A = this chain, B = another copy of it.
Amino acid sequence: MTQPQTTTQAITVALLGGGTVGSQVARILTEDADMLAAKAGAPLRLAGVAVRSTDRRRDYQLPKGMYTTEAEPLIDGADIVVELMGGIEPARTLIEQALRDGKAVVTGNKALLARHGEELSAIAAEHGAQLAFEAAVAGAIPILRPLRDSLSGDRVTRIMGIANGTTNFILDRMDSAGADFADALAEAQELGYAEADPTADVEGHDAAAKVAILATLAFGTDYSIDEVSCEGITQITAADSAAAADAGYVIKLLGIAERRTGQDGAEGAVLRVHPTMVPREHPLAAVRGAYNAVYVEAENAGELMFYGPGAGGAPTASAVMGDVVSVAERLVRGGPARVRTSIASLPALDAEEAHTSVMVVLTVADAPGVLRRVAGVFEGHGVSIEAMRQNSATAEGESEVQLRIITHHARQRDLDATVEELRDLDVVRGVVSVVRVEGK
């Protein structure tokens, strides 16, 4: 066995943020110091933790003198800055300053990266500084290195991710217990899986930020969260969930990024987040509760999936520490920093360019010619039907039946127009459910 070559010169780490993840990072840096020194090739020394209040009790309590409200002097003395404050400011300014000083930065701040990742990468490149951010996507799931390095000789065609544990938990409860959205949300809040203000989760904003970062890595093009079309799960009803289950599907909030050819014939990427039915036998369907998963399709590799805890202090801290050790290793070894550069230009296309399919459940009059007229609406928009099933009467003695229609893939705009026209059709008494379908 080769002995590790540990230099005596310690690498100094400044930690910004003392919350759930920050506390776990402080714990690992303290308790696993020997293992980290062996892996990094030099001891990692935690210089201090910048926090808003030095009085607050932390999940992992360091000696009082380790906490400071002054981030800048802490950064000045550090080789590696670990930013776990969250939010745009002051995180952005502090990270920029550290990168300009040539310091390595590790961040788990997805909101910041999804808005300002391109600028930050450019600053890092300009100053030869390392910028690492594995923890910003899908918690502890190692997905950035596989996308950036392992698949660098391949062409990713599509990513579908369950990138938010809160919504996955809620949809899971709706599926397995028949709960409606409000009750499932209340349960998630009680169990601590959802925040008091669940907007960022249930409206899909958190997932959208992750899609922007994943797509940037997968397609070598910088995307912002503003280019991700986003629809949350607040409109999903117990009826939607039951209809999906009845058809052999389960509803998941998916973040999807895929290569498409736009209307003008040029290649681009469609980035979207929306509730999606996936077949029960699809690997994503088995992802339960607060777990996350990212499903990747590549030209040569085929279908890959990465699965793990999507959040939580210790799992996210594991991802942060993986970056810290990698960054430290490079500082020890020397050599130029690896910088992210855009190597392609795959512009974001309008979400209406997406190709998807939908399941539509309608209540219609139980009369001759109805099926033909409904089918005619689909045909009129160039949408072909994969399966149509007529259920028994919706209420005893009434002259109504339910129709369940699953389409083949079609353009989103054509699917939207089809549903619009169905709503106005006189034989249609009601549109019970419209949910997109992927992974058939």
* Chain A residues engaging chain B, CB cutoff 8 angstroms: 1-2, 4-5, 24, 28, 32, 35-36, 38-40, 122, 125, 134, 140-142, 144-146, 149-155, 220-222, 283, 286, 298-309, 312, 314-315, 317-326, 329, 333-336, 338, 341-345
Contact = CB atoms under 8 A, between A and B. Distances in A.
Contacts of A146: 142, 145-146
A314 B151 CA distance: 12
Task: Pick from A24, A155, A304 the residue with the most CB of B within 10 Å.
Answer: A304
A133 to B, nearest CB: 12
16 contacts: A1-B222, A1-B345, A2-B125, A24-B300, A38-B344, A39-B153, A140-B300, A149-B322, A149-B326, A150-B322, A153-B320, A298-B318, A300-B314, A302-B315, A304-B306, A306-B306
A341 B332 CA distance: 14
B152 A326 contact: yes
Task: Pick from A32, A35, A140, A152 the residue with the most CB of B within 10 Å.
Answer: A152
Contact of A4 (B154, B329, B343): B343
Nearest to A287: B283
A303 B324 CA distance: 21
Contacts of A298: 318
Q: Please state the number of chain copies in the assembly.
A: 2
Contact of A309 (B152, B302, B343): B302
Contacts of A222: 1
Contact of A122 (B2, B305, B308, B318): B2
> Which 4 A-B pairs rank lowest in CB-CB distance, beginning with the nearest?
A335-B335, A153-B321, A142-B150, A142-B146
A333 B333 contact: no
A308 B314 contact: no
Contact of A304 (B125, B304, B307): B307
Contacts of A38: 220, 343-344
Contacts of A24: 300
Contacts of A322: 149-154
A39 B1 contact: no
